[in-house]
Amino acid sequence: MDVNVLFFARSRELAGVGDALLQLSAGADTASFIEELYRKYPSLEEIRGAFALAVNQEYLPAGEVATIKAGDEIAIIPPISGG
């Protein structure tokens, strides 16, 4: 199944793209999504554990695992600083 991935801030720089389709096995969850993400975009290892996920525009609480469905949109949101 395909999911839409949106990359923001540092994750966009590291991945080299703003969005992508990622193919996952049926019944995948956010834990397996993250591992596939690192496989396809190894440069994201730099921010491992330092970003939030939003699935279909809803933040996923840290440490929580959610089931992913075909066509879901998953945003990679690293910490943002500024003033």
What was the pLDDT predicted at 50? 92
User: Is residue 45's pLDDT more than 90?
Assistant: yes
- Average pLDDT of every residue of the chain: 94
Separation CA 4–CA 21 (nearest Å) = 5
Residue pair 53/76 in contact (Cβ under 8 Å)? The answer is yes
Q: How confident is the model at residue 25 (pLDDT cuts 50, 70, 90)?
A: very high
Q: In what order do the strands lie in the sheet with 73-77?
A: 19-23, 2-7, 73-77, 52-55, 58-59
Mean pLDDT of 36-65: 95
Q: What pTM did the predictor assign? A: 0.91
